[in-house]
Every structure is written in structure tokens, then in C-alpha cells.
Structure 1
């Protein structure tokens, strides 16, 4: 089990690194949004490329930070019943939920999105709007984001199995509030 826990730690480190990098995308999206509004309403100029880069950044923030959010227990959960259950029961719910719902969904989404990325990349697809951007980078975010989320799901599964076998403690991290 120590080998698998080491794998979980590598996955955690990868999602932590990606999640911290995504924080910079939030700042970039905010700055671009403000400058775009200033240019549009203050100078009477607008650009489809600047609007699209905002959408791309927003998509990147949501998709790439999903694994980081799972790692930090930040996804929406209804704790009315779950929170009253004992830790072993919670671990079983997390384990079964991840195996039956999270991993199949992530695998399916990554698998279905990959051909769209490949086609977009191969064809050099660009936005149909005047001055629009190339599309393959944003199409890559979909399989990449779901792969990162799925990997974090694997790390969580490893931790739940280790806990249920009595080989590790299960720590419940409180959701993070980034500043």
C-alpha cells in the first residue's frame, strides 16, 4: 500500500502545482476583462480576440482547477446527512462515489473530448468571428482538465482504501479560501 500512497502523493503534487498556476489565470482574466471593458466603453474599440481570450481563461480556470478543488475538499457537497455519518461510512461513500461516478465520468469526458482537440489541432481551426483565436488550446483544456480531475479521484480512492484497511489516517481538509 505504501507504493500506492506514494502515487497518490505524486498526483496531489501535480494538482497542487496546476492549481497554484491557475491562480495566475484568475488575475490575467480579471486584468484582460477590465482592459477590454475600458477599451470598449472608454475608447469605443473592441476585439473578438480579447473577448475570446477571456472565455479561454475562464474555461482554463474551471477545468484545470477541478482536481485541485477535489484535493482541497472544495467541491459542493450536501453534508446534511453525510456530515453526521461516522468516518468509515463516509470513506465508503467517497470510495464508491469515486469508483462508480467520478472516474467513469472523467474517463468518458476525456475520451469524448480528445478527438475534438485532435481535429481542431490538425485542421488549424480558428474562431469564425473576425479576429478570433485558434481553437485547439481551449479544446485541449477539456480532456486535460478531466484527466487531472480523474487522477485526483484515483488519489482519493487510494487514500480511502488505505484508511479502510487501517493503514492510514483519513484527514478531512477544510475547503481552502484563496486570497
Structure 2
């Protein structure tokens, strides 16, 4: 049981650190968008590469930050039914949700995205705009990263729930490990 606890804590620490790093893309994205607006409306100059960079930053923020959101329970959930239940009932809902919903959806996204991403890498796909960023294949790879990170966080969620269901108190260990 100690191994399972250390495993989910390691996953939580990783996704927590990744989420904190990725959160900086929000500030960068706002600054770039501000610069685009200033350049367009004051200097009458537009840049497709800068427009593309906002899309890339937005994708990084949401696709790589989703597992951080799941870790900190910032995702959408029907709390009317969830919040009033015991820790045991919450753990049961989380375990079933991770196994029946989250992990299969992540596997489905990964499975169906793989050929799409491989095709993009094979051709080194670039922007359809001549002055756009030439790294569309890297952008598409974020879909696989999203599915992988969410699946790994789903495993962490399942392990935490499993330990709670088997009578192991993981609340303090999670608070100590995930917020380092």
C-alpha cells in the first residue's frame, strides 16, 4: 500500500509542477495578444506568426494544464450529489469515474489521435498561412500529451480512491505531497 501511495503522490507532484509551469503561458498569451492589438490598430501592422503563437499558447495552457485542473478538482462536476457524501462515498464515485469514464475516454482520444499526429509529423505539417508558424505537428502532439497526462492523473485519482476505500488515510499525505 505504501508503494501505491508513493506512486499517486509522485504523479500528483509531477502534474502540480507541470501545471504551475504551464500557467505562465496565460500571462505570455495575454502579452502577445496585447502586442498584436497594439501593432494592428496603432501601427497598422499584422503578423500571422504572432496570431498563431496565441493559438499555440492557448493550446499549451489548456491541453497541458487539464491534468493540473483535475488534480485540484477544478473540473466540472455535479457537486449537488457529491459534496454531502462521506469520504468513502466520494472515493467510490472517484474510483468508478476514473475507471469507467476518464481512462476509457483518454485511451479513445489517444488511440484516435495517434494516426493524425503521426501523419502530421511525417509531413512536418506547417501552417496553411504562408507567414504562419511551421510547427503544426508539435501543436497536434499536444493532443497525445493531453490524453496521456489526464490518464496518468486518472490513475492517481483511482489509487487515492482505492486507498481510501481500503481504509488508508491518504488525505494528509496528499496535502503534503501534491503541494510541494
Match of 1:156 in 2: 157
Task: Provide Cα deviations, 1:90-116, integer angstroms capped at 9, x if missing partner.
Answer: 111111011000000011112221222
Match of 2:117 in 1: 117
For 2:170 and 2:12, how far apart are their aligned partners in 1? Answer: 16
Contact 2:49–2:133 (CA under 8 A) maintained in structure 1: yes
1:21-170 map, 5 Å: 21-134=21-134, 135-170=136-171
Contact 2:91–2:161 (CA under 8 A) maintained in structure 1: yes
Give the SS at the match of 1:108.
helix
For 2:74 and 2:133, how far apart are their aligned partners in 1? Answer: 32
Give the SS at the match of 1:85.
coil
TM-aligned CA deviation for residue 52 of structure 1: 1.0
The structure whose residues are more often helix, as a share, is: 2
Contact 2:5–2:170 (CA under 8 A) maintained in structure 1: no
Number of residue pairs matched?
Answer: 173
TM-aligned CA deviation for residue 12 of structure 1: 1.0
Structure 1 gap segments, 5+ residues each: 174-179
Is the deviation greater in 130-139 or in 62-71? 130-139
TM-aligned CA deviation for residue 149 of structure 1: 1.1
For 2:42 and 2:56, how far apart are their aligned partners in 1? Answer: 24
TM-aligned CA deviation for residue 169 of structure 1: 3.4
User: Structure 1 82/124 Cα, relative in aligned 2: closer, same or farther at 3 Å?
Assistant: same
Give the RMSD, CA atoms, in angstroms: 1.5
TM-aligned CA deviation for residue 130 of structure 1: 2.4
Structure 2 gap segments, 5+ residues each: 176-180
User: TM-score w.r.t. structure 1 length?
Assistant: 0.91
TM-aligned CA deviation for residue 46 of structure 1: 0.6
